[in-house]
Every structure is written in structure tokens, then in C-alpha cells.
Amino acid sequence: MIQQTPMPPVPPARDANTTLVDVRGLKVHFPIKGGLLGRPVAHVKAVDGVDLFVRRGETLGLVGESGCGKSTTGRAILQLIRPTSGSVKLGGTELTTLSEREVRKRRKDMQMIFQDPFASLDPRFSIGQIIAEPLQNYKKYNNKKELQDEISHLLEIVGLNPFFINRFAHEFSGGQRQRIGIARALALHPSFIVADEPVSALDVSIQAQVLNLLEDLQEEFGLTYLFVAHNLSVVKHISDRVAVMYLGRVVELAKSEALYEMPLHPYTQALLSAIPVPDPTIEERRKRIILEGDVPSPVNPPPGCNFHPRCWKAQEICREVIPPLEEKQFGHYAACHFPG
């Protein structure tokens, strides 16, 4: 018996003119092969029915702990992982039904900034070659100088000296490598960028530099970001709206301040109370909600609301009916039977 997540009522905010990315019912299930014939014996339900939308020019933060499926969601939206089911629309065009070749044509509109500044750059490529790659895939250049000029310009935009265009990735520091990754993502002037934990691997003092850079670039080029991260403080700072994920589903979606001031979903409440604040007076006075147990495995998510085994408000209905992501207050969505 499969519980279907009912389609949420279309809220007024999600109109075609302002919405750039529209995701409904997104599912990504990875089969686990087993047995003699290699048949799928179970599925890892990494993304299990995600709805969200991103307006032009805004930053939507996607936050959650490990195993919640946020990175997979980002990749599924970009069609780097083909979704098992669901719909992803970019600027009105449905992406999930496109062939691989057609998707590749659209790649210049949707790019990604990767998490690991060391693994996301080919160690055998100079940074000029790294940035040239997307350019050469989609544009023709009359001569080498034209290409080089464009690369130099991109390097300057992200704050790197174009003189070092022929250097290799390993000669730069973590923060600089991340800037190279950002330059690569910007090269094709995409409208939509998924930033997958772009600052998590950087030192604290460098994180602020890169975050400021991302914000400046957004303003200058009118970019739309999906900012995926596990650090809620960082996400809240850079995002206009935030979606909280738990075990493959979005449990709450709201404006950043609203999420912080009035979290409706119990998981969000627990998450917020767990985050340490650099202020000893506040820390002393805090009442922490300590969740029991560990995150269940995405192979066997609990029935009904997948948070109910750890929720202090859980009732009968929570075990039986999957709560839909509904608008509880203006612009503030939560998937809970007993929000607030």
C-alpha cells in the first residue's frame, strides 16, 4: 500500500512569471541489487516526494542533516541524476522527460558549484583549461586570444589574478580553488546555480569571503541560487527562503526569518535548538530539545510521517498518514499534522 503525497494546492506565489525552478513530487530511489539474479531487493529512498520552487533572483536554502537527500535533490534538479519520478521545470520547460542530449543543450542555463575544492578540479588541468571547458562546449572562438580574454575576465570577477591562468589547481589554497569552481559555474552565464555545500570544506575565516562573493555575484548578474548546506546559520544568512529536509522529504519551507522565529515543524524546532550560538550567555540559558535516537535509514523509512518515531508530539495519525506540505501561514509551509 503506497501512500501518495497529495499535490499541494498551488499557492499564489508560485506563478509562472516569477518562478524559475518548479519541483513537484520529486523522487529518486536507488535500487539495491541482491540475490542470484541481481534483482532489486530494496530501494534507498534518497528523495521521496520533494516539492519546492525557486523564484527568479532569489536564493532558496536547502538544509538538512546527512542522509536527508538534499545533495541528491540538487543533482536531480540538474538532471545529473535522473529522477525516478516527479517533475522539474526550469523556466517552464519540463526537464525530466528530455533525452540526455537535450539536457546537455540546456546545461548552459543551469550550473553547479561543488563542495570539495580539491576533488572538483581535475588535477591535470590548468585553471585556464578548467574554465575553458564549459566555454568550448558551447561557443566557437575565432582565436585563442578571444577565449583567453573571456577566461581572464571570469577570473577577475571572482577575485583571482588572471596572470595565474596557466597554473595548476594544486597550487592554490582551498578558498581560491572554490573561486575557480565559481568562475567555471559562471562561465556560461546560467540563470540558475545549485551550490552544493560550497563553503563547508573551507576554513571559517575564508567562508565569509566566499559567501560575500556569492552574494555580490547574485546581485551583479541576477542569479538564482539553490543553496544546499547542513549549516543552518550559513543557510539562513544567505537565503531568502529556506526549505528543511528530513529523510527525503521537505518538512518545512518558509522565509528565513519566519523559519527562525516561528518554526512550525518539530524537526525544525529540534534542529534550531541544537545549533550552538557563539554567545555563552545565550548558551547557558538555552533549553535544548535533545532528539532521541538516530536518523533512520532511507532504505526503510518509517510509515506515515517519517519523523514520527523521534517526535514528541506524535499521535496515531502521524503513523498512518503522510502529512502533505501545506501552507499553514502566509508563505510558510509545513508537513505536519500538529504544527506550531
Q: Which of residues 48-87 bind other proteins (CB under 8 A)?
A: 65-66, 78, 80
Q: Which C-beta is closer to other proteins: that of 16 or that of 312?
A: 312
Q: Which amino acid is residue 23, in one-letter code?
A: V
Rank residues 122 and 316 by Cβ distance to other proteins and give the closer one: 122
The binder of other proteins chosen from 133, 146, 149, 316 (CB under 8 A): 133
Q: Which is nearer to other proteins, 212 or 315 (CB)?
A: 212
Nearer Cβ to other proteins, position 5 or 270? 270
Q: What is the nearest approach in angstroms of other proteins to the Cβ of residue 51?
A: 24
161 binds other proteins (CB under 8 A): yes
Q: Which residues have C-beta within 8 Å of that of residue 170, sequence separation ≥ 6?
A: 123
Nearest approach in angstroms of CB 294 to other proteins is 4
How many residues contact other proteins, by CB under 8 A? 83
Q: What is the DSSP string of 3-21?
A: PPPPPPP--TT--TTTEEE
- DSSP letters, 254-315, are EEHHHHHHS--SHHHHHHHHHS--S-HHHHHH----PPPS-PPPTTSPPSSSTTGGG-TT--
State how far the Cα of 298 lies from the Cα of 302, in Å rounded to an integer.
9
Does position 204 bind other proteins by CB under 8 A? yes
Kindly tell me which residue out of 71, 72, 73, 120 binds other proteins, with binding defined by CB under 8 A: 120
Q: Which is nearer to other proteins, 9 or 278 (CB)?
A: 278
Of positions 156, 219, 316, 320, contacts other proteins by CB under 8 A: 156
Residues 6+ apart with CB under 8 A from 29: 43, 44, 45, 46, 47, 48, 84
Q: Which one of 39-47, 88-96, 203-211, 315-323 is the stretch in contact with other proteins (CB under 8 A)?
A: 203-211
Binding to other proteins, residues 229-288 (CB under 8 A): 230-234, 236-238, 256-257, 260, 270-283, 286, 288
